[in-house]
């Protein structure tokens, strides 16, 4: 039986291990049920009126199908059910077959995708070919799916299984007919060099670049993409901030957001995270350090933010925090499916400008980008110490962390951060009185936290440039009218952390900041003041605890901000940028909202 009405198509097939079924294809996807169920509208696999889910009654959306392929003449196995309805094959029978490849969500963890394939058989070759063509046409209408990708494989990432990880997921890309140019890196900085030197024309021939590795390897590819292509003014230097706060309390600024250039994040029938291709507007001013003009002209051949080109990660690292926060799972197959199915989420990126490497150096401003985290003190010391134990693999971080913790070093530093007060309720645990003094307030209850997830209302919220002025300060691109000013914190700190995303990982199941978002234009500045060994251990144990509250201590300062500056009082300062070492005595950081797109949707939590 074959019925075709408009966009709806229906035929009888034999499902491998499922018996005879009626298969229906419409604009939403593919569905099938046993012949007897279709005829009687009553499942024969029910008992005492309770319907049992079975393989002969299922559906799959076209958006969840990544491939359909003809598998030629061969066996269709008899049903594994005691009764399947319709005609039974008796023993195995041979016929023409085709397989629909998709996925199912794990019953135990919704964010984990499990490969699922469904093979259908029919005696008529033309019937099979017609269905393959129709399903293929439906798949081709999913226009956001990539066709060509540049893949970088780090062979020594994590436990040295980068190549093995790629070999595991490569068949998914082949079935999905995604062309891949695979580069196995030969040395540190190889991917950075390739991404930096690639021409705009060649870059536009790809739909994205994929990192098979960890957060540090992704950072290398990110910096290769952005360093020579992202044109934006520098944020104010610490010296400029000190002058401004001492004499004027504020300086003219404009918050860096992709949305301030007319980029819109809308909910509706279209992908809610698609952006305009308009480049970001100038952030603070048209000038860099000491009044030198900055080139803010975007490359017309490859503008940023870019609506088409996406980055992706197939996890093979030591922590894989970016993958966990953007997909909810540290699973290579899940990440590969997000990529071939063309998923998209926008990701905030922090621009880090180093003004001085040491106290006496005279450096030109040097720019790096970070997608997840920038940390100093404890965090920088751990990453520096761990470099001596790379032969240990991921366990080096535990060993290095223990050594650094036992030393319990604190550092004198000065941090200035931009306080942005909106009409929206602020989730930080600090507020300002009318006279400008900081006062503690009760942090939000855990039930009040808005956790970033699939379809996140905060990340998807449309922003329009609005301007209000306070002592000469202008702030653009926020959701509500805002007031802003620079505030300072000076003293001895065990650590300074800037979390751009939540940074969930196996050691910190809720991350550094549980309610940090992928695409809200802010980072979370966490200052850990000098305290006793016991108190710091208490803080760390709260980080490692599911449902912990590591930011509730009196020695912890937590600020949600789009920008901050840092100056060390010591001779040497080591930072951790997405798991990579970065030496900086003096630096400034600003966040660009949704600067890059990632093959992901956000976690299901």
Q: What is the pLDDT of residues 450-508, one digit of tens each?
A: 889 999 989 988 654 333 323 333 343 444 446 788 999 999 999 999 999 999 998 89
Highest mean pLDDT among 82-91, 166-175, 397-406: 166-175
238-459+468-598: what fold? Tumour Suppressor Smad4 (2.60.200)
Q: What is the pLDDT of residue 259?
A: 38
Residue 5 above 60 pLDDT?
Answer: no
Do 383 and 579 meet the contact criterion of CB atoms below 8 Å apart?
yes
Q: pLDDT tens digit string along 328-360?
A: 999 999 999 999 999 999 999 999 999 999 888
Q: What is the pLDDT of residue 154?
A: 95
Interatomic CA distance for residues 349 and 368, integer angstroms? 10
Interatomic CA distance for residues 380 and 148, integer angstroms? 37
Structure tokens, 484: 């802003």
Give the residue-averaged pLDDT of 181-195. 96
Residue 558 above 90 pLDDT?
Answer: yes
Q: What is the mean pLDDT of the chain?
A: 81
Structure tokens, 385: 């110490």
Provide φ and ψ at 525, rounded to 5°: -90, 120
Interatomic CA distance for residues 222 and 215, integer angstroms? 10
Query: What is the helix, strand, coil percentage profile of the chain, to 5?
Result: 25, 35, 45
Q: What is the pLDDT of residue 482?
A: 61
Interatomic CA distance for residues 401 and 413, integer angstroms? 22
Interatomic CA distance for residues 243 and 251, integer angstroms? 9
- CATH code for the part of the protein at 2-140: 2.30.29.30
DSSP letter string over 163-218? HHHHHHHHHHHHHTT-EEEEEE--STTHHHHHHHHS-HHHHHTSSEEEEEE-HHHH
Domain limits, the chain:
2-140, 238-459+468-598
Interatomic CA distance for residues 512 and 493, integer angstroms? 17
Distance, C-alpha 442 to centroid of its chain: 30
**Confidence at 82, pLDDT banded by 50, 70, 90:** low
Q: What is the pLDDT of residue 449?
A: 77
Count Cβ neighbours within 10 Å for each residue of 304-340 and write b for 16 or more, e otherwise: bbbbebbbbbbbbbbbbbbbbbbbbbbbbbbbbbbbb
Strands 148-153, 179-184: parallel, antiparallel or unpaired by DSSP?
parallel
Do 424 and 479 meet the contact criterion of CB atoms below 8 Å apart?
yes
Residue 106 above 60 pLDDT?
Answer: yes
Least confident piece of the model among 15-19, 245-249, 473-477: 473-477
DSSP letter string over 452-509? --TT-HHHH--------EETTEE--S-SS-EEEEEEEEEEEEEEEEEESS----SS-T
For the chain, give the percent of residues with pLDDT over 90: 58
Give the residue-averaged pLDDT of 579-596. 94
Give the residue-averaged pLDDT of 210-220. 95
Residue 144 above 90 pLDDT?
Answer: yes
Give the residue-averaged pLDDT of 24-45. 73
Q: What is the pLDDT of residue 276?
A: 32
**Is there a shared CATH topology between the 2-140 domain and the 238-459+468-598 domain?**
no
Residue 529: other Cβ atoms inside 10 A: 18
161-164: long-range contacts at Cβ-Cβ below 8 A with a sequence spacing of 24 or more? Answer: 161/316, 162/212, 162/213, 162/316
Indicate which residue of 16, 207, 215, 510 is catalytic: 215
Residue 256 above 60 pLDDT?
Answer: no
Q: Is 381 assigned a catalytic role?
A: no
Structure tokens, 384: 């520096």
Interatomic CA distance for residues 156 and 603, integer angstroms? 27
Q: pLDDT tens digit string along 497-545?
A: 999 999 999 889 999 999 999 999 999 999 999 999 999 999 999 999 9
Residue 227 above 70 pLDDT?
Answer: yes
Give 188's Cβ-side CA count (13 Å radius): 3
**Confidence at 19, pLDDT banded by 50, 70, 90:** confident
Do 239 and 224 meet the contact criterion of CB atoms below 8 Å apart?
no
Residue 574 above 80 pLDDT?
Answer: yes
**Confidence at 56, pLDDT banded by 50, 70, 90:** low
Count Cβ neighbours within 10 Å for each residue of 433-451 and write b for 16 or more, e otherwise: eeeeeeeeeebeeeeeeeb
Give the residue-averaged pLDDT of 28-36. 87
pTM: 0.83
Least confident piece of the model among 83-87, 149-153, 343-347: 83-87
For residue 311, give Cα distances in angstroms to 84, 173, 210, 363. 45, 15, 6, 31
Give the residue-averaged pLDDT of 128-134. 95
For the chain, give the percent of residues with pLDDT over 70: 76
């Amino acid at each position: 039986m074959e019925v075709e009405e408009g966009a709806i198509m229906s035929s009888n097939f034999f499902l491998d291990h499922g018996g005879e079924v009626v298969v229906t294809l419409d604009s939403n996807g593919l569905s099938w049920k046993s012949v007897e169920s279709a005829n009687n509208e009553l499942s024969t696999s029910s008992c005492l009126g309770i319907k049992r889910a079975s393989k002969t009654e299922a559906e799959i959306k076209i958006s969840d199908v990544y491939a359909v392929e003809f598998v030629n003449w061969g066996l269709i196995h008899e049903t594994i059910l005691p009764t399947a309805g319709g005609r039974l094959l008796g023993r195995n029978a041979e016929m023409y077959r085709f397989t629909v490849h998709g996925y199912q969500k794990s019953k135990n963890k919704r964010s984990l995708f499990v490969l699922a394939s469904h093979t259908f058989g029919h005696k008529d070759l033309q019937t099979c070919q017609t269905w393959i063509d129709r399903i293929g046409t439906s798949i081709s209408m999913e226009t956001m799916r990539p066709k060509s990708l540049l893949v970088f494989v780090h062979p020594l990432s994590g436990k040295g299984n980068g190549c093995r990880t790629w070999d595991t997921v490569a068949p998914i890309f082949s079935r999905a007919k995604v062309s891949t140019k695979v580069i196995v890196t030969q040395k540190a900085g190889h991917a950075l060099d390739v991404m930096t030197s690639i021409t705009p024309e060649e870059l536009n021939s790809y739909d994205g670049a994929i990192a098979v590795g960890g957060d540090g390897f992704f950072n290398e590819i990110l910096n290769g993409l952005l360093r020579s292509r992202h044109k934006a003014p520098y944020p104010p230097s610490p010296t400029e901030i000190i002058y401004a706060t001492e004499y004027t309390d504020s300086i003219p600024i404009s918050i860096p957001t992709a949305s301030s250039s007319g980029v819109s994040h809308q909910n509706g029938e279209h992908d809610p995270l698609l952006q305009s291709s308009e480049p970001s507007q100038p952030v603070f001013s048209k000038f860099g350090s000491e009044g030198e003009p900055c080139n803010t002209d975007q490359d017309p051949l490859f503008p940023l933010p870019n609506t088409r080109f996406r980055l992706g990660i197939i996890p093979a690292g030591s922590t894989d925090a970016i993958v966990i926060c953007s997909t909810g799972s540290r699973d290579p197959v899940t990440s590969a499916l997000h990529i071939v199915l063309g998923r998209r989420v926008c990701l905030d990126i922090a621009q880090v400008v180093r003004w001085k490497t040491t106290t006496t150096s005279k450096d030109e401003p040097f720019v790096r980008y970070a997608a997840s985290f920038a940390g100093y003190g404890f965090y920088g010391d751990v990453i520096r110490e761990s470099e001596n134990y790379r032969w240990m693999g991921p366990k080096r971080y535990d060993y290095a962390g223990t050594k650094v913790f036992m030393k319990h070093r604190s550092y004198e530093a000065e941090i200035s951060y931009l306080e942005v007060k909106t009409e929206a309720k602020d989730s930080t645990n600090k507020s300002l009185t009318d006279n400008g003094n900081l006062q503690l307030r009760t942090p939000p209850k855990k039930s009040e936290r808005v956790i970033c997830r699939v379809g996140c209302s905060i990340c998807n919220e449309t922003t329009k440039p609005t301007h209000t002025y306070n002592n000469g300060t202008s702030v653009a691109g926020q959701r509500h009218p805002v007031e802003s000013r620079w505030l300072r914190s000076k003293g001895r700190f065990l650590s300074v952390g800037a979390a751009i995303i939540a940074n969930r990982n196996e050691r910190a199941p809720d991350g550094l900041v549980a309610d940090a978002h992928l695409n809200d234009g802010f980072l979370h500045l966490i200052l850990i003041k000098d305290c006793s060994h016991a108190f710091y251990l208490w803080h760390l144990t709260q980080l490692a605890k599911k449902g912990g509250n590591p930011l509730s201590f009196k020695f912890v300062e937590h600020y949600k901000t789009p920008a901050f500056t840092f100056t060390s009082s010591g001779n040497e300062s080591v930072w951790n940028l997405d798991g990579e070492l970065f030496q900086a005595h003096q630096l400034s950081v600003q966040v660009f909202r949704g600067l890059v797109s990632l093959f992901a949707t956000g976690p299901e939590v």
